[in-house]
Chain A
């Protein structure tokens, strides 16, 4: 089996992540719900995870709030900050985890278009501003093309125009360096199980100073039981109910490792694999490649089609005939498919990690050659 679906979830999980989850299941109680040693151990792991996440993103440790995934983080940020009277600037490359909450707010939406290589035209942000523009919401890396947005530049623009800047880092957390403060990010939404190498059911949002998000979920908080309202202080403000401390134990181990190791060497390896794959595919007739794969900054994602064949058929053949795991379809990003004209055909997405090898890339190219012939 060759696993090329790392944009869906990274695989395999590092052994130290698995061990950390097992250790947690063997040793901890419930976070923040008592003062005996079992529960204290759970809370220490959760707090340590906050510290490691805060270090990775240069965030305020007490404003790192954990959720189940990036979708829940994005819903929390969008539904908790935006209402129907607001105007929002976003883009056609967004995932449904951004689009659907935005549609739900009833806000006026402007979608930045893409160029022929799939790059979002961020130069058009300036002309898109209206008197009631409240926020710019963008994914750092497209989950379809792997194209990267210059979020530092957008953040500077948002700072100059006093706009919130909400970043969907589902594909970039743990891959590209993100500095909330120097990039002027208001809310950074991430998942734990992709580039951060943790387990599913972990994610969160880091909230900048002075931004008060109306919570999506309220309930158990471990404090002030007799109050009719949920505590307003971060991180509890956005963390009703028992956290996934077992999962966070794994995330803590992986983010600690990423902080120690740095992201550059891992990113370089997977980017080189994506470029190798791209360059080899360019030699094969009838392959259509989407995205700006050779750009200086690019996520390790390459989406393709073979002539006019249904992407689902190609993906299925790759697995059934060659054991190669890819994802087909629209990838929950409908607007970018409309922009590329692939809403019916879909795309076959190959997403690499630093754990893949050149040998796997060559075998995959050979498999595609066989399918084309």
Chain B
């Protein structure tokens, strides 16, 4: 274990890295302040990218993803 402060985050994963950047582009337009991180191992083994944001944004982000037809894999809360 490395020394790093943990907290509960909203994590969104995608089927492709391209979709992660579709998310980032949308987030920028909508004013979300999260960022792209490597996919946590708790969600998926192997490489990949995920969107990390404040957990209280869950409903808002889910709605935006659906409104803008951005295909995501999972949307969960995770302490990392």
Contacts and interface: CB of A to CB of B under 8 A. Distances in A.
Nearest to B44: A224
Contacts of A43: 17, 20-21
Given A35-B38, A40-B36, A47 B47 contact: no
B38 A62 contact: no
Contact of B47 (A223, A233, A235): A223
A44 B16 CA distance: 14
Given A231-B15, A236-B16, A223 B21 contact: no
Interface string B30-54: 0000001111000011111100000
Given A62-B71, A225-B45, A233 B21 contact: no
A366 B14 CA distance: 61
A62 B45 CA distance: 24
Determine the main DSSP class of B at the interface with A: mixed
Interface string A30-55: 01111100001001101100110000
B21 A224 contact: no
Given A235-B18, A236-B17, A236-B18, A47 B48 contact: no
Contacts of B19: 62, 233
B24 A44 contact: yes
Nearest to B46: A225
Nearest to A32: B17
Interface size class of B (residues with CB under 8 A): 20 to 34
Contacts, number: 71
B21 A231 contact: no
Range class of the A interface residue count: 20 to 34
B45 A223 contact: no
Interface in B57-75: 71
Contacts of B47: 33-34, 222-223, 225
Contacts of A223: 14-17, 39, 46-49
A32 B49 contact: yes
B28 to A, nearest CB: 10
A233 B15 contact: yes
Contacts of A255: none
Contacts of B37: 35
Contact of B49 (A44, A222, A233, A235): A222
A46 B20 CA distance: 12
26 contacts: A31-B17, A32-B17, A32-B18, A43-B20, A43-B21, A44-B24, A46-B18, A47-B25, A50-B18, A62-B18, A221-B16, A222-B16, A222-B17, A222-B47, A223-B16, A223-B17, A223-B39, A223-B49, A224-B44, A224-B46, A224-B48, A225-B47, A226-B46, A227-B46, A231-B15, A236-B15
Interface of A: 31-35, 40, 43-44, 46-47, 50-51, 61-62, 221-227, 231, 233-236
Interface of B: 14-22, 24-25, 36-39, 44-49, 71
Given A222-B47, A223-B17, 8 more contacts: A34-B38, A47-B18, A47-B21, A47-B25, A221-B17, A222-B48, A233-B16, A236-B18
